[in-house]
Chain A
Amino acid sequence: DGGITQSPKYLFRKEGQNVTLSCEQNLNHDAMYWYRQDPGQGLRLIYYSQIVNDFQKGDIAEGYSVSREKKESFPLTVTSAQKNPTAFYLCASSAVEVGGNEQFFGPGTRLTVL
């Protein structure tokens, strides 16, 4: 697997600390996404970006922040305001084209708040 990477694979954080999850892609995709995956709840969209220097809130953006300064990178910061941050986080990217845009997913980061 290549193309889209996430780091670290596992992350531990103390309550009250902010933490940043990395997502990088070399697929030349314009669109990038952050999802949270919880058992029984599927994938819920946190933030997405359609182009550099622009991003939109997803369905569960509260307590999270993102930036999109480079096409290749879309880091996610989990802030202390996120009430239940322990989860599996997935990053994805896709081309922006008419009809049928496949999303490519990273391997994920498992965040545990201690």
Chain B
Amino acid sequence: AQRVTQPEKLLSVFKGAPVELKCNYSYSGSPELFWYVQYSRQRLQLLLRHISRESIKGFTADLNKGETSFHLKKPFAQEEDSAMYYCALKPGGYQKVTFGTGTKLQVIP
């Protein structure tokens, strides 16, 4: 069975500080990993996916298969980063997507 764990419900950081949102997964095959973000009063939307290996809004995430992790990082937090962040896993070749419980990021001015 596939599982996604986000250990922090709330992460508070000061503006300009580094951010790391943790995501660990369990899946025996080759998964596709995603980070979704939900800003206040907006729809849930994709932030980034591991296969793209790109930086979006200064955020990056590297898939570490050895540690089964996909942590989201940003070197300098901005106030507009305050939102709910969800890590998600999709098994390769299948459509069932599993989400973590989410981490609320609060950036303090």
On chain A, the residues within 8 Å of B57 by CB distance are none
Tell me if B49 counts as interface (CB < 8 A to partner A).
yes
B99 touches A105 (CB 8 A): no
Among B34, B44, B51, B102, the most chain A Cβ lie within 10 Å of the Cβ of B44
B95 touches A1 (CB 8 A): no
Tell me if A102 counts as interface (CB < 8 A to partner B).
yes
Distance between Cα atoms of A48 and B46 in the complex (Å): 19
B32 touches A99 (CB 8 A): yes
Tell me if B69 counts as interface (CB < 8 A to partner A).
no
Binds B, one of A15-23, A33-41, A66-74: A33-41
Ranked 10 nearest A-B pairs via Cβ: A42-B101, A43-B99, A105-B44, A100-B51, A100-B49, A42-B102, A102-B46, A50-B95, A31-B95, A105-B43
Interfacial residues, chain A to chain B (CB-CB below 8 A): 1, 31, 33, 35, 40-45, 48, 50, 56, 58-59, 90, 92, 94, 96, 98-103, 105-108
